[in-house]
């Protein structure tokens, strides 16, 4: 089963967390996960992916304009029926990453995706809307992103195991 992590990263932090999410996805047997910056997505891989996760830095208490632009211009990209999730990076703990996540999750719903967070029902670490890290917690947050990727991949396997990849 294929899984894609799409992201925008200006300073490199969101890319590093995209790599951690994909690492977690690859921990699930049978999952082939790849990461793509928004400006160089492998369209065929994305089409075949059962799970698609989006990563965004947080600017001015919201998602970055590059992620918003991608959604605004991706009307030909069919994500319906796929499992979706989101993660964010931020400079500050009170930087508005929750708003950034909610914005991305709303776009996923509009695209017809099944939205999943790896939520608190699975116990610790608790992940409500999606994982978030700030500059101060960047290195110690990496395991949370790996767990998030693993949970998304496990749920995708559960939902799509009987379908062809």
Q: Which domain holds residue 7?
A: 2-160
Closest of 87, 89, 156 to residue 128, by C-alpha = 87
Please report whether residue 48 resides in a domain: yes
| 109, two tokens | 């719903």
Please report whether residue 165 resides in a domain: no
Domain count, the chain: 1
pTM (two decimals): 0.94
Mean pLDDT of 28-36: 97
What's the pLDDT score for residue 165?
45
CATH code of the domain in which 141 resides: 3.40.50.360
Please report whether residue 42 resides in a domain: yes
Check: CB of residue 8 under 8 Å from CB of residue 58. no
- Give the span between the Cα atoms of 22 and 16, in whole angstroms: 10
Please report whether residue 50 resides in a domain: yes
- Give the span between the Cα atoms of 96 and 51, in whole angstroms: 25
- Give the span between the Cα atoms of 161 and 129, in whole angstroms: 24
Mean pLDDT of 8-23: 96
Mean pLDDT of 124-146: 88
The band of 163, judged by pLDDT with boundaries at 50, 70 and 90, is: low
């Amino acid at each position: 089963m294929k899984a894609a992590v799409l992201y925008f990263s200006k300073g490199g932090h969101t890319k590093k967390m995209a790599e951690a999410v994909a690492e977690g996805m690859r921990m699930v047997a049978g999952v082939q996960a790849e990461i793509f910056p928004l400006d160089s997505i492998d369209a065929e891989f994305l089409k075949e992916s059962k799970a698609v996760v989006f990563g965004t830095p947080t600017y001015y208490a919201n998602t970055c304009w590059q992620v918003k632009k991608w959604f605004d211009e991706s009307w030909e990209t069919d994500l319906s029926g796929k499992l979706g999730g989101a993660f964010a990076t931020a400079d500050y703990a009170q930087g508005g990453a929750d708003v950034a996540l909610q914005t991305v999750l709303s776009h996923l719903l509009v695209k017809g995706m099944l939205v999943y967070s790896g939520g608190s029902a699975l116990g610790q670490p608790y992940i409500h809307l999606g994982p978030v890290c700030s500059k101060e917690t960047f290195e110690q947050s990496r395991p949370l992103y790996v767990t998030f990727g693993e949970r998304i991949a496990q749920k995708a396997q559960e939902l799509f195991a009987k379908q062809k990849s």
